[in-house]
Amino acid sequence: MQIDFNKNSDGLVPAIIQDSTTKNVLMLGYMNQEAFEKTQETKKVTFYSRTKQRLWTKGEESGNFLYLVDIEVDCDNDTLLVKVNPVGPTCHKGTDTCWAEENVQGYGFLSTLEEVIASRKNDQENPDSYVASLFRKGINKIAQKVGEEAVETVIEAKDDNEELFLNESADLLFHYLILLQAKGYTLNDIAKVLEKRH
């Protein structure tokens, strides 16, 4: 790996810290050659602190270490992407990230959809909500809908109409998300099971 520590007069390169599991950016720090070598040697992310004017291992006081998974250098050889397994909050203010964001696994629009479904779970105010009405009908009705959508997806998989197959697949996934919420679970719980099996 070629890293251009001489590009800047202070010998520092930015190090973007990313959670290797969630892919969320946790913080930004700076490394010089010595910090980079110590990080590789100890497997704990070490920076060069511009305020302390010395090497600084993240977590040396708090115990909230960043355990190294991988380091990549960008196309100009002057910025590092450091993938880590964090222990505890990353920010000195006690938050998961230095942007005060939660470091949770996200699934793009599916996470947004999960939030909408969760908000409708106890929605007594909106009688026209399809999701709220399913929750009111109970677990048996929700499970039945998942079964119906599964059968319809299988039927469409055997035919050649891709649009119908994709729509039935979307219906199945949508109702499965409702079933997960009804049972008190999320996609993240399922991902953890799959990860253990892997």
What's the average model confidence in pLDDT over 5-32?
95
Side chain identity at 80, as an amino acid letter?
A: L
Tokens 């099996």 — which residue?
Answer: 197
Phi (first) and psi of residue 111, to 5 degrees: -70, -40
Kindly tell me if the per-residue pLDDT of 138 is higher than 90. yes
The mean of the pLDDT values for the chain is 94
Q: Is the predicted pLDDT of residue 3 greater than 90, yes or no?
A: yes
Cα(5)–Cα(93) distance, rounded to whole angstroms? 30
Beta bridge partners of 34: none
pLDDT digits (tens, 9 = 90+) for 116-136: 999 998 876 776 889 999 999
Q: Model-level pTM?
A: 0.70
Is the pLDDT reported for residue 103 higher than 80?
yes
pLDDT at 18 > cutoff 80: yes
Please, what are the domains in the chain?
Answer: 13-86 (3.10.20.810), 109-196 (1.10.287.1080)
> Helix, strand, or coil here: 11?
coil
**pLDDT over 80 (residue 49):** yes
- The pLDDT, as a whole number, for residue 124 is 67
> Looking up tokens 């070490």, which residue turns up?
46
What would the DSSP string read from start to end of 109-154? Answer: HHHHHHHHHHHHHT--S-TT-HHHHHHHH-HHHHHHHHHHHHHHHH
- The residue-averaged pLDDT of 71-92 equals 96
Give the residue-averaged pLDDT of 66-94.
96
What percentage of the chain carries pLDDT values higher than 70?
99
Residue-level pLDDT at 122: 80
How far apart CA 67 and CA 175 sit, in angstroms, is: 38
For the segment 87-111, the average pLDDT, to the nearest whole number, is 92
